[in-house]
Amino acid sequence: MAYVLVINSGSSSIKFQIVDPTADASQEPFVSGLVEQIGESSGRVTVKHAGQKFVVQKPIATHGVGLQETFKLLDAKGIGPTQLDIVAAGHRVVHGGMVFSEPELILDPVVDQIRDLIPLAPLHNPANIDGIKVARALLPHIPHVAVFDTGFFRDLPPAAAIYAINADVASQNLIRRYGFHGTSHEFVSSQVPALIGRDPLHTRQIVLHLGNGASASAVANGHPIDTSMGLTPLAGLAMGTRSGDIDPGIIFHLVREGGMTIDEIDNLLNRKSGVKGLSGVNDFRELRAMIENEDENAWLAYNVYINQLRRFIGSYMIALGRVDAITFTAGVGENDKHVREDALENLSMYGIEIDPEKNALPNDGPRVISTDNSTVKVLVVPTNEELAIAQKSAAVAEKARAAGLY
């Protein structure tokens, strides 16, 4: 069987899966794993396969060491990349700027172009490049493919993509709305038409990717027309630890009156805000337990989260003109019935009605949770970004082989 190795390289960790690109979205990957605490005194490699979990704990100095230790562990279990038919390695790359809209076969010039985009994603693109370099060195004989988080949103309408700031300043600094979670929004939105019996070219929908990071998109006939994240993944919805949209003047105020540095404000808005900043937790299961114990901070955090979510849903309903479907996905979207119910509460006048019994069912695959009378269908569709990356990478790899490059 042919597999794709999917690598998501972060600043101090590497997530990976070995995936059958022809698999169903609900199937477990053949192998999944995580390299943690790279560069720290204690590191760990965890591999999951066929219901078993294998762990190696030792210092991991670099991403290269992390992948080497991973491959060593996989080889020892008979499921290493050289022991399987790996047809491609797919790499998640956070920022493709305006350069990349489609998955790209990774050659040296492509790595250079990704490096040129580091100013747009200083925390993510360097780590993505590290993973690419190491994996290409360890697996030089297979095609490596970059799949960009921003790709799906590259061709947003100008009115949605352009910020109302000085045009020259924006152009010089590459400032515009890029959007993120694009692989998820594309994967989920492409499944919806078949689930509700509509032609994909005549389906208008809102997709709500609600995890620790959260984003919304408006998709008309297969093409996104707006999305909530912007130049960075900090914009838009209130999230687990990120503020989402705020008055930009808050930043000036914190510098002038609070005496904070730009790095301190960056840390505040990205890691110490959102639901966690208001309640102390960013796990929605913990938040629900606190709400049930009548914790006022938890209740406030939840209401701020829902209020911001409803604002985006409402604005996208106007932008689309007609809405055929609203879909929830990712960890919170797929598993928190309260968020789904409260986000769409009291919208029956707009043809949106959730069925409480369907909404309460466990997350066991794509499903419609609206009533039969609801003219706007409400769905839960599990996302599977790794499968989407595997599928795209396998397709690019096949073309590369057909062209005689491998």
CA pair distance 4, 89, nearest whole angstrom:
6
Give the pLDDT of residue 401. Answer: 93
In a domain, 310, yes or no: yes
In a domain, 192, yes or no: no
| The 2-9 sheet, strands edge to edge | 52-57, 44-49, 31-36, 14-19, 2-9, 85-93, 144-148, 104-105
CA pair distance 404, 406, nearest whole angstrom:
6
Give the pLDDT of residue 219. Answer: 98
Give the pLDDT of residue 43. Answer: 87
Tokens representing 208 are: 């709500």
pTM of the prediction? 0.91
In a domain, 392, yes or no: no
In a domain, 159, yes or no: no
Give the pLDDT of residue 222. Answer: 95
Q: Structurally, how many domains does the chain consist of?
A: 2
| Residues 260 and 323 reside in one and the same domain | yes
Give the pLDDT of residue 42. Answer: 83
For the chain, residues with pLDDT lower than 70 are: none
Give the pLDDT of residue 161. Answer: 97
| Residues 281 and 362 reside in one and the same domain | yes
Give the structural domain span for 217. Answer: 197-385
| Residues 130 and 220 reside in one and the same domain | no
CATH number for the domain spanning 95: value is: 3.30.420.40
Give the pLDDT of residue 63. Answer: 83
Catalytic residue numbers, as ranges: 149
Helices (H), 3-123: 63-76, 108-116
In a domain, 35, yes or no: yes
